[in-house]
Structure 1
Amino acid sequence: MTSVDVYRALGFSDEDREDAEKFTPDPVAVEDLVTQLRAGVGQQGTEPQLRMPEDTRNTVAALLATVPEIRQYHHERGIPDDISWATLADLGLQLQVSRRTHGEYGLATHWWLTIHWAGQIYALGRLQYMLYQVTEEKPVPGTEPGEWVVGVHIPESGPLTPELVDASFAQAREFFPRYFPEYPIKTMTLNSWLLDPYLLDNLPQESNMVRFGRRFTPYGTPTDSQDSAIFFTFRSHDLGKLDEFPQDTTLQRLVVSRIKQGGTWQNANGYTTF
């Protein structure tokens, strides 16, 4: 049974902890995922492709059951406890996001947490960083297929001030050579709707979001991602509610106005030196 202290370390709200404790898992579904998660710990290179339970509450139960395995992997790597728990606490954050989006206990982004439980991603200050390999199908400028890079991810944990971003980048540049020396890295990448050229050109240039996006050199062809803009701005997938979304910030107004004008938000890629 998971202790209150572990729930707290994993970022659970009291409401989500209570619902997790009340939930009766499907033992077959949970054990199947537990077996897959255990087999995937420490497997670097590509995102896990697992058979996931239909009821995402069973996914949470499996993740809780395998906390000892991923914690042991972190320990064997010498990764400090604060970084280990900060990384795994994305589970609690994602539960809160799911509750805000759907109004109930569950894990809509269940696939995302399998990356954490494989030991591929780490929370280092304001940002998260995921180890992966470049492929011929998804090249990165200045790298070769098979080369290791880190993908930057932006958790919902506050502003992207230049000071916090600088500190996070500095921490990442120390972390990976120390704890993953067999994976030499010289490039960081970002795939996000925050790199949409329209956003970077139409938000105030002194905003934290624009200053963050300008750190990355764009490459490749942007892809349509209307849902990402709506979900990450308003925590909704319903384009039919445009007139109901709050319009309190410049970003909120920009997201809605572009869609109403017939535009489409896009995901774009960028890279910078590690």
Structure 2
Amino acid sequence: MKPLPFKRTAILALLAAGACTAAQAADWSDTSLSYRYGTKFAEPFNNQDISKSIVNLSNVSGYKYGTNFFSVDFLMSDDKDPSSVGAKTGAHEAYAVYRHTLDLGKVTGANYAFGPVRGMGITAGFDVNSKTDAGYNSKKRMLVAGPTLMMDVPGFLNISLLALWESNAPYNGYTNTAIDRYRYKTHPMLTAAWGIPIGTAIPLSFEGYANFIGTKGKDEFGGDTAKETNIDMQLMYDVGAAMGSGKNVFKVGLEYQYWKNKFGNSDHNNPGATAKTPMIRVEYHF
């Protein structure tokens, strides 16, 4: 087995240290279980609208020197995105994300605030997915790392510039051929994540993330990859707060995702590579 390059070893060490420290000394923690549903999902090389149900489990926590975020989606498609060639059942997918942000001000005791920025940090993490479907059967693995600006807004708004080390080992169900794990070119992502309360009379919040991802070189089939834009945002109504039974417990809302050139697949003559998906969302925090 080849040793990991230094950069990836350093990222893994930072993730392990952050996770262990947070697990031992979390100052606060919020866990949520949510469900969302839409009928306009899209997949590359599939020109049909796909309905999906998505169950999500997330946890965000803070400790003395920073924050941790973990989220896993369980995605269940209808038969327009079949589970195998000729199947009448839909594909299943699990997609996990972890991010650790080390707050440089808290570590060093220095003040990094300037203009609209309240602080600076270093973010590292990973994405992992596994999907069972007719065509690609994704097995994504990705490490991420880079600087973060924490903006001075109500709630939070973090903006990061991350390097991505991504690989995949797909299996083509149509040709019954497996591809050895393929590593894409290291590429950048400008990303933002936010949760901002709106007003006080009505308990609304504007939440979401936006990813702008550079090209990752050639894909595993020798084709050029395209720049991605993935914006997922929701307007959430805090039902518990409105009814006087506790804030940030039960929320309902509307969500919208715009994903252009999904997974780096160009949408030129490939309409399924860009998704414009409205969803309903319900969320329970505990």
TM interval, shorter chain, is under 0.3
Higher helix share: 1
Higher strand share: 2
